[in-house]
Chain A
Amino acid sequence: MKVTFPHMGHLWLVLKAALEGIGLEVVVPPPCTRRTLELGVRHAPESACLPLKVNLGNFLEAKELGADTIVMAGGVGPCRIGYYAQVQREILRDIGCDYEMVVFEPPDVHFSEVWDKVKYLNRRPWQEGVRGVILAWQKACAVDSLEQELQQLRPREAKPGQADAVFQRALRELDAAGGRGEIKKIVKKAKSEMAKIPRHTSGPVLRVGIVGEIYTVLEPMVNLNIERRLGVLGVEVVRGLFLSRWINDNLFKGLLPLPGHHPEKTAPPFLNHFVGGHGWESVGDTVTFARHGCDGVIQLAPLTCMPEIVAHSVMPAVQEARGIPVMTIYLDEQTGEAGLQTRLEAFVDMLRWHKGRKAAQSF
């Protein structure tokens, strides 16, 4: 059995550690590229949302490397992700691409449904499996802590790209790491290297919060590396969605004491109900970012994403009441780099002007 899984940002690093931990042979799909997207778009329903298409591309590319089993997550609505696996299975069948699919669903009747699937996949004594999962979790936390460092550094480094180079190297080392001590060492080394990167002193740095649908927020290929682009424009990016936090919220049901999302406290009165996906969180995080003094918020979503359309629809009320500019960007296979770059530059210009005016008023 050679298992593969869909890409979502740096998730591969974590999943690979966990699946290898339970003794499986893992085929990590090639990093998402235009080709991945084109493969997916060719076979997926036209108006399906973007993650379905890219994931399908991942599966087709992993097949070329010999994968025969897909491990992925499901859901029970109202977001479309819960039916991805069913649609993808039929598509793969129609194009003659043979795959076994193991889909982890929230248990319908009993937790044993999930457990049975774990047992089916597990190849090792369970103590070792648990060790693998803990290792994966530690890697997730390490990636997130380095990425936060990176977000702070990008707008401040004298020569753009240096911090990213350190981060990419650290990712490769983390992938190879086999224990907690090693992970700690890698993080420490990367952080000290980042600290040595020369910084510029020109102009104030803006802070922009990124909210939206998790896939488009975490996957640089589909958001055209928006965080790096903003960094070059002198913007520090903050976001509420991180891999470790997502794993904690969704898989461990928020058991670990990490700062979680509490949209039920922050989103009303603008949005008073859960709407599936991350729609509620998008509104709640925007309110939080406004409270924390961010200069603006960018909402990312795949075109036709239902929860994010709801969030987008109530954003004017949030902007008005909290005085924070929000720009919504929908992403799909037609999104072009130049168009995105222009919109980002215009938004950042506007924020700078806004900030300057506010500073002048306060004198």
Chain B
Amino acid sequence: MKNKKWRLGVPRALFYYYYGPWWETFFQALGAEVVVSPPTSKEIMDLGVSLAVAEACLPVKVYYGHAAWLAGQVDALFVPRLVSVEKKSFICPKLMGLPDMLRAALKPCPPIIDTTVNLARQPEEGLAAAVQGMARALGVKGSRVDLAMAAAEARYHAWLAGQQQGDSMAAADCREEEPASGVYRSSSSQGKESRDALQIGVIGHGYLIYDQYLGMDIPGKVKRLGGKVILPENLTTLQVEKACRRLPKRLYWTLGRKIMGAALYLMEQENVAGLIHLTAFGCGPDSLVGDLAERYARRRGKPFLLLTLDEHTGEAGLNTRLEAFMDMLYRRRSA
């Protein structure tokens, strides 16, 4: 007999950039009002930095900021415990502990819907359990859940397909910020008009690349310096997984595999001039995956730029390094 209309807070950070459309559609279909925090701003980042432990990585701190921003104005926060989103893979220990970390930091802390998502052993059962858990937290059962899931899946897959085409690179509802005129179009859809532009692979976690404040809009900057950007999301799953199969041992981080696969695939493309790896200081998986990618790129002679972000990173310094990298690539091409 629960027909309360929930005001549900969804922080616009971390995996919102991978599953935002799914979550929003699902909860809306279950009759909840979904409040997504605004795009990251200085205020939100400062809030997060003040709440999180100093050693956490910047995206986690930003997540704290978004959650704290929402805390006072919603009935509950949706902070899923993302253990694994595919078979035999993990995301990152910090995402496995995120709900508990927030509970210890936010005072007062609103109720947290911390559904465990664990698809590591049995993907189908794990997904079903997670969906049921999310619905149960809102007090919804039965066929409405299936309908909501179908709607969520449909929107999610349409959104994924759009990402691959390069139509809308940012998460679902920040579309208005995207000038749709092929800013981040993938290489395949560009044809001959891009002969002059250098093709640059920008690899990194989605929550860095697509968060314009946190990630300092690296794709946009590269574009303004005359580059054509290719992102991991522009590649097909098949291309990424196939490239990863050459590794001596399977990478057990979902995002690590995405980044490594994209890097391996792109460094083999003749027309890709160079790679930029965007990472956050203290990112565990990236410290190894990024280093391996850089080694492989160096062996192949593909220029590779590592940009590490933290809350002290100055934009001017970043711009200088990007400009120098792009200049070097132009000179290399004309040589």
Q: Is A271 an interface residue (CB 8 A)?
A: yes
Chain A residues, Cβ within 8 Å of B94 = 275, 306, 309-310
Q: Which of A89, A279, A310 has the most CB of B within 10 A?
A: A310
Select from chain B the residue with minimum beta-carbon distance to A90. Answer: B295
- The complex places the Cα of A136 from the Cα of B308 at a distance, in Å, of 44
Residues 58-88 (chain B) with a chain A CB within 8 angstroms: 81, 83, 88
Partner of A78, one of B55, B105, B249, B252: B252
Per-residue CB proximity of A295-313 to B under 8 Å, as 1/0?
0000000011111011111
Q: Is B21 an interface residue (CB 8 A)?
A: no
- The complex places the Cα of A332 from the Cα of B97 at a distance, in Å, of 23
Cross-chain contact A317 with B103 (CB below 8 angstroms):
yes
Select from chain B the residue with minimum beta-carbon distance to A84. Answer: B288
Interchain nearest-CB distance for B245 vs A (Å): 14
Q: A49-B284, A304-B287, A314-B104 are in contact. Are A83 and B55 (CB under 8 A)?
A: no
- The complex places the Cα of A79 from the Cα of B253 at a distance, in Å, of 10
Q: A90-B295, A310-B101, A317-B104 are in contact. Are A48 and B288 (CB under 8 A)?
A: yes
Select from chain A the residue with minimum beta-carbon distance to B281. Answer: A47
| Interface residue count on the A side (C-beta < 8 Å) | 48
Chain A residues, Cβ within 8 Å of B101 = 310, 313-314
- The complex places the Cα of A312 from the Cα of B290 at a distance, in Å, of 26
Cross-chain contact B252 with A76 (CB below 8 angstroms):
yes
Chain A residues, Cβ within 8 Å of B287 = 45-49, 80, 304
Cross-chain contact B291 with A78 (CB below 8 angstroms):
no
Chain A residues, Cβ within 8 Å of B282 = 47, 303-304, 309
| Interface residue count on the B side (C-beta < 8 Å) | 43
Residues 114-158 (chain B) with a chain A CB within 8 angstroms: 114, 116
Cross-chain contact B251 with A83 (CB below 8 angstroms):
yes
Q: A86-B292, A270-B104, A306-B284 are in contact. Are A330 and B96 (CB under 8 A)?
A: no
- The complex places the Cα of A274 from the Cα of B251 at a distance, in Å, of 20
Per-residue CB proximity of A270-297 to B under 8 Å, as 1/0?
1111111101000000000000000000
- The complex places the Cα of A86 from the Cα of B52 at a distance, in Å, of 32
Partner of B288, one of A80, A94, A273, A275: A80
Q: A273-B83, A303-B55, A304-B287 are in contact. Are A78 and B248 (CB under 8 A)?
A: no
Residues 204-245 (chain B) with a chain A CB within 8 angstroms: none
Chain A residues, Cβ within 8 Å of B104 = 270, 313-317
Q: Which of A277, A311, A314, A316 has the most CB of B within 10 A?
A: A314
Q: Is A107 an interface residue (CB 8 A)?
A: no
Chain B residues, Cβ within 8 Å of A82 = 252
Select from chain B the residue with minimum beta-carbon distance to A82. Answer: B252
- The complex places the Cα of A64 from the Cα of B53 at a distance, in Å, of 41
Q: Is A87 an interface residue (CB 8 A)?
A: yes
Chain A residues, Cβ within 8 Å of B93 = 78-79, 275-277, 279, 306-307, 309-310
Chain A residues, Cβ within 8 Å of B56 = 309, 313
Cross-chain contact B90 with A310 (CB below 8 angstroms):
no
Chain B residues, Cβ within 8 Å of A275 = 93-94, 96-97
Q: Is B187 an interface residue (CB 8 A)?
A: no
Q: Is A77 an interface residue (CB 8 A)?
A: yes
- The complex places the Cα of A310 from the Cα of B53 at a distance, in Å, of 9
Q: Is B328 an interface residue (CB 8 A)?
A: no
Select from chain A the residue with minimum beta-carbon distance to B90. Answer: A78
Cross-chain contact A90 with B292 (CB below 8 angstroms):
yes
Interchain nearest-CB distance for B312 vs A (Å): 15
- The complex places the Cα of A91 from the Cα of B299 at a distance, in Å, of 12
Cross-chain contact B284 with A304 (CB below 8 angstroms):
yes
- The complex places the Cα of A36 from the Cα of B9 at a distance, in Å, of 49
